[in-house]
């Protein structure tokens, strides 16, 4: 799967095992999006900007990617 380590200054380290069948592009993408949302206190516009996406594109990805929980 995917493991995430975060620091108080917003640094996020994603570690993933490509030999694990649970590691998919969708799971890695979801973790990155979730981190951006936490970093921006849930601000979708700011998260989208950090990720280089439009607000609408980020919203579509949130709808289309299964939750990691």
DSSP run (H or E) holding 46:
helix 44-51
Query: For every one of its 69 residues, what pLDDT tens digit does the chain have, with 9 covering 90 and above?
Result: 778 787 777 777 888 888 999 888 888 898 889 989 988 999 999 999 999 999 999 999 988 876 655
Provide the pLDDT for residue 68: 57
Question: pLDDT value at position 45?
Answer: 96
Q: Is the Cβ–Cβ distance between 28 and 42 less than 8 Å?
A: no
What does pTM read for this prediction? 0.77
pLDDT computed for residue 41 by the predictor: 94
Integer Cα distance of 43 and 66 in angstroms = 20
């Amino acid at each position: 799967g995917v493991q995430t380590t975060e620091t108080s200054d917003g640094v996020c380290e994603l570690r993933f095992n490509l030999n694990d069948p649970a590691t998919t592009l969708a799971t890695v993408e979801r973790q990155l999006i979730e981190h951006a949302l936490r970093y921006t206190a849930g601000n979708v516009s700011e998260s989208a900007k950090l990720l280089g996406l439009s607000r609408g594109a980020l919203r579509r990805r949130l709808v289309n990617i299964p939750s990691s929980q």
